[in-house]
């Protein structure tokens, strides 16, 4: 057990955290491998699934030794590694899925938030316990309020407690809730569905999501016009339209 396992199967890259004896706690080396695996996947990889070994944890976040007895410069270096890894997941041009098979904490929860789709089972527990260590939740924890609203995000972050699926029923945090034994199969099915679209349109749409998060409404709309038009420089766009036309006609009959 050690570094995350990376396996490519049927056009899907599976990244599996691999320290079940410590609930898949992460090291800086793990982050670097995840970042590389997300950023450098070849064109044959159409979707990426991130999960954990065993049935107890997606990941318990960073190993406690990551932040024990370190200097300010070391703290900056290590939180930067988290930022860069989770940012690579969020900015990946391919669809990303978190198959959350157990407890999901800290940097691991931020990584799940950064994924496009989250799949979990009813017993999953999640949280950002950093305040209990005397450090703030930072980097992609900023995504949480977009998922659950500012009030609930403040409760999750300021208490540092673990929460369950039922605690976020008004603003669902997970896209699909399935039986524990079905999490991986559902992740595979969803990855396959997302892989049916052209790589170019998925990359463009993900750029737009990021644009909408970081610009004004009108600026985001204006940028979307250019991104839309540029897609027509790809033959794959024309081919997709040609394929869709007869299928749309059949649906009307």
pLDDT digits (tens, 9 = 90+) for 79-113: 999 999 999 999 999 999 999 999 999 999 999 99
For residue 43, give every residue at least 6 positions away whose Cβ sits within 8 Å of its Cβ, in sequence order, or none. Answer: 199
Cα–Cα distance for residue pair 112/150, rounded to 1 Å: 18
pLDDT in tens, 127-186: 999 999 999 999 999 999 999 999 999 999 999 999 999 998 877 899 999 999 999 999
H helices present in 160-234, as ranges: 183-194, 199-214, 217-230
Residues in Cβ contact with 99 at an 8 Å cutoff, skipping those fewer than 6 apart: 49, 50, 51, 58, 119, 183, 184, 186, 187
pLDDT of 209 reads 95
Q: Residue 68 pLDDT more than 80? A: yes
Which pLDDT score is estimated for 251? 54
Integer Cα distance of 40 and 170 in angstroms? 37
Distances (CA, A) of 176 to 66, 108, 117, 216: 32, 18, 8, 30
In sequence order, the 6+-apart residues with CB closer than 8 A to the CB of 190 are 97, 117, 119, 176
Q: Sorting pLDDT into bands at 50, 70 and 90, what band is 253?
A: very low
232-242 average pLDDT score:
94
Q: What is the mean pLDDT of the chain?
A: 94
Domain ranges of the chain: 2-194, 199-252
Superfamily per CATH, domain 2-194? 2-enoyl-CoA Hydratase; Chain A, domain 1 (3.90.226.10)
Residues 6+ away with beta carbon under 8 Å from 26 = 17, 19, 59, 61, 62, 63, 66, 107, 108
CA-closest candidate to residue 60, choices 121, 13, 129, 115: 129
- Of the chain, the percentage scoring pLDDT greater than 70 comes to 97
């Amino acid at each position: 057990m050690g570094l995350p396992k990376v396996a490519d199967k049927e056009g899907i890259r599976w990244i599996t955290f691999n320290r079940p004896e410590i609930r898949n706690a992460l090291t800086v080396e793990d982050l670097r491998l995840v970042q590389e695996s997300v950023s450098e996947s070849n064109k044959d990889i159409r979707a990426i699934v991130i999960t954990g070994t065993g049935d107890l944890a997606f990941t318990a976040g960073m190993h406690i030794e990551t932040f024990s007895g370190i200097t300010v410069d070391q703290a900056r270096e290590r939180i930067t590694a988290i930022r860069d890894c989770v940012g690579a997941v969020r900015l990946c041009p391919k669809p990303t899925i978190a198959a959350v098979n157990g407890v999901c904490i800290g940097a691991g929860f931020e990584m799940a938030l950064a994924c496009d789709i989250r799949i979990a089972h009813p017993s999953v527990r999640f949280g950002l316990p950093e305040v209990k260590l005397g450090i703030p939740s930072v980097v992609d924890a900023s995504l949480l309020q977009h998922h659950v609203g500012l009030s609930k995000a403040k409760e999750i972050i300021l208490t540092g407690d673990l929460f369950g699926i039922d605690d976020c029923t008004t603003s669902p945090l997970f896209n699909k809730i399935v039986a524990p034994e079905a999490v991986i199969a559902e992740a595979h099915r969803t990855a396959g569905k997302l892989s049916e679209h052209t790589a170019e349109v998925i990359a463009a749409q993900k750029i737009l999501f990021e644009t909408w998060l970081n610009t004004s409404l009108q600026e985001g709309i204006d940028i979307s016009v250019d991104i839309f038009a540029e897609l027509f420089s790809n033959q794959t766009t024309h081919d997709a339209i040609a394929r869709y036309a007869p299928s749309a006609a059949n649906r009307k009959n």
